[in-house]
Amino acid sequence: MKINPQSPLRSTGPLPARQAAEPIRPADGYGGTVPTVTSAPAFQPNSQVAPSQGLVSTVSQTLGKLTGLGSSLVDWLSGRTSQLEKAQKVADGVLALDTAMQALSDPQLQAKTGEFRARLQQGATLDDLQVEAYAVARETARRATGLTANDKQVLGAALAHQGCIVEMKTGEGKTLMEVMPAYLHALGGDGVHIITANDYLAGRDRATLGPVFQRLGLSTGAVSRELSPQQRKAANQADVVYGTASEFGFQYLEDHLTQDPNGRVSRDLSKVFALVDEADKVLLDEANTPMVISSNLPEDPKPARVMAAVVKHLKEGVDFRSDKKNRQAWLTEEGLDRVEKILGIGDLYSAKNEELVSYLQSAVQARALFQPGVQYLNTGREVVLIDEFTGRPKPGHRFAEGLHQAIEAAEGLVPGDGMLTMASITYPNCLRMYGKLAGMTGTGLSSRAEFHQVYGLDVQAVPTHKPVARQDLPDLMFNTGKERDQALADQVARLHKTGRPVLLGTRSIERSEDLSRMLQERGIPHQVLNAKNLPAEADIIAQAGHLGAVTVATNMAGRGTDIKLGADANQKAQVLALGGLAVLGSERHEARRIDEQLAGRAGRQGDPGSSQFFLSKEDELFRLHLDPKAKLEPEEMVRRAQQHADDKSLEMREYSLKYDGVVNKQRGLVYAARDAALDGVELRDELPEWIDKAVKRYESRMNDVEPSKRNQEANYLLGNPQPPVEASTKRGWLKTELEKAVAEQSGKMGPVLPQMLSAVYLRALDREWMEQISTLDDLREGNRWEAGQEENPLQMYEKKAHEAFESMLDGVAARTLHGLLSARPMAPAPPQ
């Protein structure tokens, strides 16, 4: 199978952004249970390295941040108004069919599914069917659940069909909305994926809406890691499949590690419609998290322990410095001298100490940039990472590149094994493979530029069904964190005394525990969400609106679960009279939409409520993103700091976006070749080219080596014949020998040659691609340090990556020939 590194891949929209890491999953058949791996903090480019923004990108980002009168101008310029008008016409048409739909019997409604599919076969489009199909789905949902989608939910559903991120506020009924676009796209038979933020929500939503789809004659499935490959394959054949983005992504990667043509479980994603719930969480918060499949790589724990002990003796600001804003840490000259004296090494940066330097760099990072309770938890047995957006622990995830082992050593734990990456993909690269992508979120407008930059998706806000009655009170600013926390606890006490429910939002588990202790000291009963049990978390957050309830939670805890006021009608009336749920934020987040999500917990569906943030000038947001000398009002402090944080995020995303495009193209070429081989493409036609590549590789590597090395390489290619050959320096010698050997082996193989050739080719391709992944990581890491040179660093990377890919293809040819010529002929496989 030819892999042409020059051939373009199918365009799927804007280039993807660099992601971080989800679970590292061991591949079936490769051994070793490997935990999820989260990569080390992504490289933050400095002003010299970051690629300049193009005019279109700059204008788009600027316009996207306009508010008030400016927003209508933005809508007009981008065509968003016409998009909304088109969706409104669809919604009006759906509502106009309400009476007609109610007149149909259940069998008549279900029969519509077959009718719609027949019309598609006759040439109708989904657009042609949309109004009537939505009306059928809406009426069926009403009969199955007792809930009727209102005009705003139908409008949101119409926008989802257009491939939009639909912003609908908390409590507005996004789950019911998803029935309509999911039903419409399932009619085509290519599958629908409902992507949720976690497995709990996937199971919950399938249980809620499964009866609706069943009434419509459609099947539903849910995928999770607990399923066997056979069960996952069966689930993926359902019309509507629920699961997390990581689960669908891992299925895609595992499909490209299997040696069995029938071992692939996924549909062709280029034909599937994906609807992402909690879209900002899935599409943006996880955007820097690559999904990785790896195998264990045994590693000596001693170097990590030694460097952890060395770094404990260093003084911050003297021996090492850090830039927490950009997540960088480095040794000073004084620190380097001190380390060399402690270790008794004359020159730490000599070539023989290269591996030691890597351990030292990780140890300095662990000491300077990571805190227990903020980025990770020490359970006493292992280091568990904490999601920076949700505050939830992420069991099984590990930092890459030695950082996790460095943190384990710093915490006094035994450093775990390293990892060999076998396959990886970022969330944007994975999600952009879908034929159509749409999403739903409670907060999308504030991240409109990012959605467009990374995925090419527009954001449309749907008005609330009832006016928002929540009061968003001005932020309160204090000089110190201690003063702020005292005032916050006082306010909780005052509100609790009245019986009004309070939700206290924090950025981290550590903050939650600190505030919980303060409430305990004051004798205030409360619940703390520790995020260890998602179903229990949903129950706790659902009760946060009950009379007298006080709930301490990380900002994103319990997403997807509405907070309803009062345990019953009588209690609800009392809570309403008190002013509804009071949301108190203990600090501002770097991303404004996280603050909006917390505030949006109050005031659902027209209920009263309030939100207020208690801030301190010592907060991390201001320390990292604001000039300490600036004299600003609290509101302006927050605006500027969050804007700076947002700009840094976009800068990093744009930087990563370009580098990941290179990896994505190479992965696409490799996987396309792999799929073709599994599907039975004739590989014998590739043998002459493989021989040429293997000979070229041999000649380029053997020109300046001793005869014994030439003999060894030649015998490898020829399958280690007995007796060994004496390699000749005559040009063309090896090609002649290989052609003779291949012809002879092909004759021996007879009818099993295609099967054998496919097996050895797939093994060769997988092994070389694994090595190429490592090479690309090394090139990217090395490129960071060469970025100050005059040559464009991205162009340098692209050039080296292309050269490495060409070398990889030569390696595939050599490995395939070696595998073929070393193999023993086998009996033909029994007929299927």
pLDDT of residue 703: 65
Measured in whole angstroms, the distance separating CA 316 from the mean position of its chain's CA atoms is: 34
> DSSP label at 262?
G
**Is residue 697 pLDDT above 60, yes or no?**
yes
pLDDT of residue 10: 31
- Return d(Cα 601, Cα 596) in angstroms, integer: 9
Q: Which helix (H) or strand (E) holds 783?
A: helix 753-785
Please give the backbone phi and psi of residue 390, each rounded to the nearest 5 degrees, phi first: -95, -20
pLDDT band of 647, cuts 50, 70, 90:
confident
**Residue range 436-464: average pLDDT?**
91
Please give the backbone phi and psi of residue 219, each rounded to the nearest 5 degrees, phi first: -100, 155
pLDDT of residue 605: 86
**Is residue 222 pLDDT above 90, yes or no?**
yes
- Return d(Cα 688, Cα 340) in angstroms, integer: 55
pLDDT of residue 54: 37
- Return d(Cα 650, Cα 283) in angstroms, integer: 14
- Return d(Cα 89, Cα 183) in angstroms, integer: 19
Q: Which CATH number fits domain 302-416: 3.90.1440.10, 3.40.50.150, 3.40.50.620, 3.40.50.920?
A: 3.90.1440.10
- Return d(Cα 364, Cα 339) in angstroms, integer: 11
pLDDT of residue 4: 56
- Return d(Cα 55, Cα 61) in angstroms, integer: 10
pLDDT band of 828, cuts 50, 70, 90:
low
pLDDT of residue 441: 93
pLDDT digit string (tens) for 495-518?
Answer: 999 999 999 999 888 888 899 999
Beta strand 469-472 with 608-616 is parallel
Q: Which helix (H) or strand (E) holds 461?
A: strand 458-461
**Is residue 24 pLDDT above 60, yes or no?**
no
**Residue range 370-378: average pLDDT?**
85
**Residue range 150-155: average pLDDT?**
97
Q: From the CB of residue 347, how many other CB atoms can be counted at a distance below 10 Å?
A: 10
Q: Which two tokens stand for residue 778?
A: 């090394």
When mean pLDDT is compared across 431-445, 613-627, 719-733, 752-766, the lowest value belongs to: 719-733
Max mean pLDDT range (183-192, 723-732, 793-802): 183-192
pLDDT digit string (tens) for 278-324?
Answer: 898 888 888 777 888 887 766 788 888 999 999 999 999 999 988 87
Share of the chain above pLDDT 90, in %: 52
Domain with CATH 3.40.50.300 in the chain: 28-41+73-293+428-461, 469-618
Give the fold, CATH level 3, of 469-618: Rossmann fold (3.40.50)
In DSSP terms, which residues pair with 331 in a beta bridge? 320
**Residue range 454-471: average pLDDT?**
92
User: Is pLDDT larger for residue 529 or for residue 568?
Assistant: 568
- Return d(Cα 58, Cα 659) in angstroms, integer: 20
Please give the backbone phi and psi of residue 553, each rounded to the nearest 5 degrees, phi first: -150, 150
**Residue range 738-745: average pLDDT?**
92
Domain with CATH 3.90.1440.10 in the chain: 302-416
Task: Note whether 712 and 755 are within 8 A (CB).
Answer: no
Please give the backbone phi and psi of residue 555, each rounded to the nearest 5 degrees, phi first: -55, -35
**Is residue 120 pLDDT above 80, yes or no?**
yes
Share of the chain above pLDDT 70, in %: 82
Architecture of domain 682-822: Orthogonal Bundle (1.10)
pLDDT of residue 12: 32
Q: CA-based diameter of the chain, in Å?
A: 96
241: left (phi over 0), alpha (psi -120 to 50) or beta: beta
Contacts of 274 (CB under 8 A, 6+ apart): 192, 193, 195, 431, 434, 436, 437, 438
Max mean pLDDT range (67-71, 606-610, 652-656): 606-610
- Return d(Cα 364, Cα 309) in angstroms, integer: 11
**Is residue 457 pLDDT above 90, yes or no?**
yes
User: Is pLDDT larger for residue 559 or for residue 692?
Assistant: 692
Q: Which two tokens stand for residue 451?
A: 């959605």
User: Is pLDDT larger for residue 27 or for residue 157?
Assistant: 157
Max mean pLDDT range (6-20, 44-58, 129-143, 329-343): 129-143
Task: Note whether 353 and 345 are within 8 A (CB).
Answer: yes
pLDDT band of 830, cuts 50, 70, 90:
low
pLDDT of residue 244: 94
Average pLDDT, the chain: 84
pLDDT band of 46, cuts 50, 70, 90:
very low
Please give the backbone phi and psi of residue 629, each rounded to the nearest 5 degrees, phi first: -85, -10
Distances in Å between the alpha carbon of 416 and those of 25, 254, 382?
Answer: 16, 24, 9
pLDDT digit string (tens) for 231-278?
Answer: 999 999 999 999 999 999 999 999 999 999 899 999 999 999 999 998
CATH superfamily of 28-41+73-293+428-461: P-loop containing nucleotide triphosphate hydrolases (3.40.50.300)
User: Is pLDDT larger for residue 210 or for residue 74?
Assistant: 210
pLDDT of residue 371: 87
pLDDT band of 16, cuts 50, 70, 90:
very low
pLDDT of residue 539: 80
In DSSP terms, which residues pair with 320 in a beta bridge? 316, 331
